[in-house]
Amino acid sequence: MSQIERIAVVFAAARSGIAAAANSAELEQVRVAVFGKKGSLSTLLRQMGALPKEQRAEIGRSMNTARDELEAAFEARAAALKHAELEASLATGAVDVTLPGRSFTLGSQHLISRLTAEIVEVFRGIGYSVVEGTEIDTAYYNFTALNTPADHPSRSLQDTFFVHDRFGEAGANAAVEKTVALKGESDVVLRTQTSGVQVHVMERQRPPIYILAPGRVYRRDVADPTHLPQFTQIEGLVVDKGITFGDLKGTLEYFCEQVFGADRKTRFRPHFFPFTEPSAEVDVSCGICGGAGCRSCGGTGWLEILGCGMVDPNVYGFVGIDPEVYSGFAFGLGVERIACLKYNVPDLRLLLEGDMRFLRQF
């Protein structure tokens, strides 16, 4: 084969290679095979030196023209393939704008969390700060230091969840036996009230004390419309110089007005709590019957929302605060109870069940 024939073959092959490339990747392979350093065209150009002198100029010129054509063919094919590929990807990636959108359901705070925050805000507004206790505590903080002696009925196995023995003798049975025998301070309990936070706070902080302690508490109650084995309390404690029962009353009346509105009445009823003296329970007039008496309020026209009183001097004895210098009051309110009163919820269990149809109303 003469050199001229060889040139014709190389160009023809290159041309058909370009035309046959089915996509950009194949075309790229052709580019390397033809125009690359070791490509067929470069090899031809390198062989030019071997041509007889008199042919060189003419063949050189026609080779240049052919190469220009080849390059143009390559560019055109590259552009065409790129366009086709773009079209294809647009077609497969097309979004059907007529499909219905995906909706996101935004969660929200549970009624109890929200109401807890709302109550905390009321007290924050009058200078209280928030303290958090633990849900597991020792019987010392939950009972003893709250002036509740070991033989008090609320310390019995029937009313309190005992976790285990602090000294690790462990096993439910050991705990049961010891509790029945009204064992002392090593008992660990799921707190039955947030009142224990009072003791923790007074142990580490000197008066003036103005604190609020929200949190979960546990009791061995079977769930029914008015009882839950687990519920939320908010404890309040004030210890300062010259605090009187008048301060307690004024504070709690202000709180009730903020949460229930000015048209609900409140009343203080004498009661007993081991850690306050004197003690009282606070009732709010029933929102369903307006105080006339109905099924919700047991016909009395009132619903109990909290316990309170002046801190018993015996409690100060456990934490080393001098009752001759300081006085104070405490209160503990049940958030679920307040939710029921505020929103006329007929059954406390609804608050724990997580039924969205119920929860979405708030």
- Site residues, ligand DAH (CB under 6 A): 193, 195, 235, 273, 276, 279, 307-309, 330-332
Nearer to ligand DAH, 115 or 199 (CB): 199
Give the residue with the Cβ less far from ligand DAH, 235 or 336: 235
Instruction: Compute how many other C-beta atoms are within 10 angstroms of the C-beta atom of residue 283.
Output: 21
Which residue type does 102 have?
Answer: R
- From first CA to last CA, the distance across the chain in angstroms is 93
- Minimum CB separation of residue 178 from ligand DAH in Å reads 24
Min dist CB 362 to ligand DAH, Å, is 25
Please identify, using beta-carbon distances, which residue of 214 and 307 lies nearer to ligand DAH: 307
Beta bridge partners of 330: 237, 309
Comparison of 123 and 331: residue with beta carbon closer to ligand DAH? 331
Q: Could you give the angle at which helices 111-124 and 245-260 cross, rounded to 10 degrees?
A: 130
Distance of alpha carbon 58 from alpha carbon 72, whole angstroms: 22
Least distance (Å) from ligand DAH to the CB of residue 274? 9
Q: Of 253, 218, 228, whose CA–CA distance to 331 is shortest? A: 253
CB closer to ligand DAH, 61 vs 267:
267
- In the complex with ligand DAH, the residue whose CB is nearer, 77 or 337, is 337
CB of residue 308 to ligand DAH, shortest distance in Å: 5
Residue 332 Cβ vs ligand DAH, minimum distance, rounded to whole Å: 3
Strand segments (E) across 145-193: 162-165, 187-190
Q: Are strands 209-218 and 129-130 parallel, antiparallel or unpaired?
A: parallel
Omega cis (within 30) before 52: no
* For ligand DAH, the closer CB: 133 or 332: 332
Rounded Cα distance, 61 and 88, in Å: 41
Least Å distance, CB 235 to ligand DAH, is: 6
Cα separation, 301 vs 206, in Å, equals: 41
| Min separation Cβ 345 and ligand DAH, Å | 20
Nearer to ligand DAH, 194 or 285 (CB): 194
Least separation, in Å, of the C-beta of 340 and ligand DAH? Answer: 16
Return d(Cα 164, Cα 139) in angstroms, integer: 11
**CA atoms of 150 and 162, how far apart (whole Å):** 14
Cα–chain center distance at 138: 28
Best CA proximity match to 44, nearest among 84, 6, 83, 18: 6
